[in-house]
Amino acid sequence: MKQEQPRYIDPLMDFSFKKIFGDVQNKDLLLSLLNALFRGRKHIVDLEFNKNDHPGNSIDEGGAIFDVLCTGDRGEKFLIEVQRSKQEQFMKRALFYTSRQISGQAPKGKRKEWKYAISEVYLVAILCDFRSDIGLKDRYLRRILLCDADSGEIFHEEFGFLFIELCNFNKMQFELDTILDKWLFALKNMSELRERPSNFNEPIFEKLFDMAEYTNFTRAERSAYEMEQKRRWDNYAVMEYAKKQASEKGMQEGFEKGMKEGEQKKALDVAIELKKNGVPTELISKATQLNIPEIEAL
C-alpha cells in the first residue's frame, strides 16, 4: 500500500530545495532568506541566478548547489554560493567552492589593469543532518571570516561563510521572534506540519507554504519527488547494510564497496522507473544525480 504523502514537501530534499530556491520566479523567497541570514550586514535588493549546478559525488551527498550574483542596496555586487549539504569532508568542500568563485573572477588577460578587483564571495550552507564540529554545540548560525589568530582582528571581511546548523535549532513555534527564526523553523519542520502556523502570516511565507503543498505539484514533479524519497530510504538501508558488513568483516573496504555499488544500482532503478512514467530527463537528473547522457542511454 502506497504511503500517504504529508501535506507539505520536505524543503531540504534536493528536488524541492531547487524548486523553492533555485528558480528565478521564486527569487523573492531566496532574497528573504538571505537577508534574514545576513542580519543587516548586507541588504540584497536583487539577485541573478548563474547557470552553475554542481551535483554531489554520490547520491546521498547532497548536490543542491547553485550560485547567485547579488546586488546590494548600495549598488555593490557580490557572489553567494548556496548549498544544502550532508556529506563528509564538508569543510574542505566549502573551501573548494568559495575558492573557485574567487579564482574564476580573474580575466584571461590584462591582469595589470584588473588590479585584483575581486567581488565579495560568501558561501551559505544549510547543514541538514550534521554539525560542523566547530565551536559551541548550541549555535545554529555561524558567521566565519578570515581573522588574525591571536587578536581576532578581521583580516578580510569580503570572503566568508554562513553555516546554518539545523540540528542546533530547537525553537518551538511560540518562540519564533524574527523572520530568520521562522525560516529555520519552516526548513526543519515543514514536512511534519498539517497547516501553515498562524504566526506565519507574512506574504513571503504564504507563498512558501502554497508552493510547498504537495497537491500543487504537477504529476511529473510528484513522481520525481517521490522517487527521491524512495532513493533516500533505500540508500539509508544500503548504508546500514554496508556498515554491518564492514563491521562483521572488520574491513573498511567492505563498507566503501557496498555503498558505491548500492547507490549506483538504486539511482539507475529510480531513473528507469521515472522514464517509464514519462518524467522529463532533466527532472530525473535532479532526482537521481545521474547525468543526462546516462539517463538517455537507459
Amino acid 79: pLDDT: 82
For all residues of the chain together, what is the average pLDDT?
79
* pLDDT confidence tier of residue 156, bands split at 50, 70 and 90: confident
What do you get for the CA distance between the two ends of the chain, in Å? 28
Nearest to 31 by CA among 41, 21, 40: 21
How buried is residue 168: exposed, middle or buried, by Cβ count under 10 Å (0-12/13-18/19+)?
middle
Q: Which of 124-138, 184-198, 276-290 has the highest mean pLDDT?
A: 184-198
- Residue entry with cell 504529476: 219
Mean pLDDT for 69-85 is: 82
Cell of 200: 506565519
Amino acid 194: pLDDT: 92
Mean pLDDT for 172-196 is: 94
pLDDT tens digits along 112-153: 788 888 888 888 888 876 555 555 567 888 888 889 999 989
User: One-letter amino acid identity for 275?
Assistant: K
Percentage of the chain modeled with pLDDT above 90 = 24
Amino acid 55: pLDDT: 46
Given a cut of 90, whether residue 184 has pLDDT beyond it is: yes
Given a cut of 70, whether residue 53 has pLDDT beyond it is: no
Looking at per-residue confidence, does 263 or 13 come out higher? 13
pLDDT tens digits along 220-250: 988 888 888 787 766 666 666 655 665 655 5
- How many whole angstroms separate alpha carbon 60 and alpha carbon 71? 33
- How many whole angstroms separate alpha carbon 82 and alpha carbon 99? 14
Given a cut of 50, whether residue 56 has pLDDT beyond it is: no
157's enclosing H/E stretch is strand 154-165
How buried is residue 5: exposed, middle or buried, by Cβ count under 10 Å (0-12/13-18/19+)?
middle
80's enclosing H/E stretch is strand 77-85
User: Starting from the edge strand earliest in sequence, which strands make up the sheet with 120-127, in order?
Assistant: 44-53, 64-72, 77-85, 120-127, 154-165, 141-147
Lowest mean per-residue pLDDT among 92-96, 120-124, 222-226, 268-272? 268-272
Mapped onto helix, strand or coil, the DSSP state of residue 221 is helix
216 contacts: CB under 8 Å, gap ≥ 6: 210
